[in-house]
Amino acid sequence: MLTTSAYLLIGHICWRYEFGHKLGQGGYGYVQAGTRCKDGVKVALKIAEKKPNMPYILVPGHPKRLPMEIGLTLMANKGPKVPQIIKLLDWQDDPDHYIMVMERPIPCTNMLSFIKLQGGRLDERTARHVMQQVIHAANVCCERGVFHRDIKLENVLINHDTLEVKLIDFGCGALMKESAYVAFHGTRVYCPPEYHVNGSYHAKPATVRSLGILLFAAVCGYYPSDKDLRMISEGEWCKPGLSQECCQMISASLQPDPEQRLRLEEMRLHDWFKVLKVMV
C-alpha cells in the first residue's frame, strides 16, 4: 500500500487540505482527519486504492466517468440538502487511487461505538430518534437512484451532543434497478436471507432487512441469533423490556420472505414512531 505522501505527489488535494491523524483503515485504504486550508473547515479524507476492474459510472453534470463510490455519493447529495447523508466536498481521481473529501461532524462517533458508550444498548426514545434519521437517509438514497447496500452500525455517524445522524461510506453501493442483484457486497450479518435461498435479492427489501438488523442491535445490544430469526419468522419473537410496537417493528423488518417484509416507504409510518413521549 502506498503512503499518504506517495498518494499526494500529484493533484490538487495536497494544496487545498492539511492532513491530520488517521481516523480509520480497511481493505479499501484509509481515512484521515483534515482541515481545508482556505477556511479551516474540518474534513475527512478517504484515500482508496483502485482494484482491478473497478466500476465507473456516468453522473449527470459531470463529463467524465467517475469511480462508483464517488459517483454514488454525488448522486446521494444531488438535490435539496439532506443532513442525514454525508456530504462530499471535493474529490481527486488518479490512475491508481482516488481521494474523497467529506464533511467531518464534530463531535461524533459511529453507531457501534455510540451504543457501547450508552451501556451496550439504546433506550427506545434514543433509538427512535436515530432510526427515523437513518430510515430517511435510506429512502432519499433510493429516490436518488442509489442503493447503499452496506447500512450498518459502523456506517452511521452520531453526533454525541445533538444525536444528529449521518449515513456514510457508499463503497459497497450500486445503482438502483428494478431487477434483482445476483452478487452481494456488504457485511455478512446484514445479508438478506433471500440471497442465500435464491442467489438474488432486490434493493428495497434488502435495505429494510439492514435497517431491521440495525434496530435490533441498537435496542437489544447484540445481533439476532438463529433462534431469534426463527422466532421472528414464526411470529413468536418478543424481547422483555421493549415495547410491543418496537418488537413489531423489528419483526416486520426481519421477515425472511421479502414479500412479507415491511416496505421501505412505510417504515417511517410504523406505529413505533407514533408512540407518545412519556413525561417522567
Query: What secondary structure, in 3-state letters, does 232-268 show?
Result: HHCCCCCCCCCCHHHHHHHHHHCCCCCCCCCCHHHHH
**CB-based contact 68:75 (threshold 8 Å):** no
Specify whether 123 is catalytic: no
pLDDT of 10? 54
Handedness of CA 190, 89, 136, 113 (dihedral sign): positive
User: What tens-digit pLDDT sequence spans the chain (280 residues)?
Assistant: 444 544 444 578 989 999 999 998 877 789 999 999 999 999 999 999 998 889 999 999 899 999 999 999 999 999 999 999 999 999 999 999 999 999 999 999 999 999 999 999 999 999 999 999 999 999 999 999 999 999 999 999 999 999 999 999 999 999 999 999 999 999 999 999 999 999 999 999 999 999 999 999 999 999 999 999 999 999 999 999 999 999 999 999 999 999 999 999 999 999 999 975 443 3
CATH number of 108-274, picked from 3.40.640.10, 1.20.1070.10, 3.40.50.300, 1.10.510.10: 1.10.510.10
pLDDT of 275? 77
**CB-based contact 216:210 (threshold 8 Å):** no
Residues of the chain with CATH 1.10.510.10: 108-274
Q: Which amino acid, 19?
A: F
Q: Which three cell numbers stand for residue 186?
A: 456488504
pLDDT of 278? 44
Provide Rg for the chain, Cα atoms. 19
User: Hey, which bits of 111-250 come out as E strands?
Assistant: 146-147, 156-159, 165-167, 174-175
Residues of the chain with CATH 3.30.200.20: 16-103
Q: Which three cell numbers stand for residue 255?
A: 421477515
Per CATH, is 16-103 categorized as 3.30.200.20? yes
State the catalytic residue, choosing from 94, 150, 226, 271: 150
pLDDT of 5? 47
pLDDT of 29? 83
Q: Closest Cα partner for 213 from 198, 225, 196, 204? A: 225
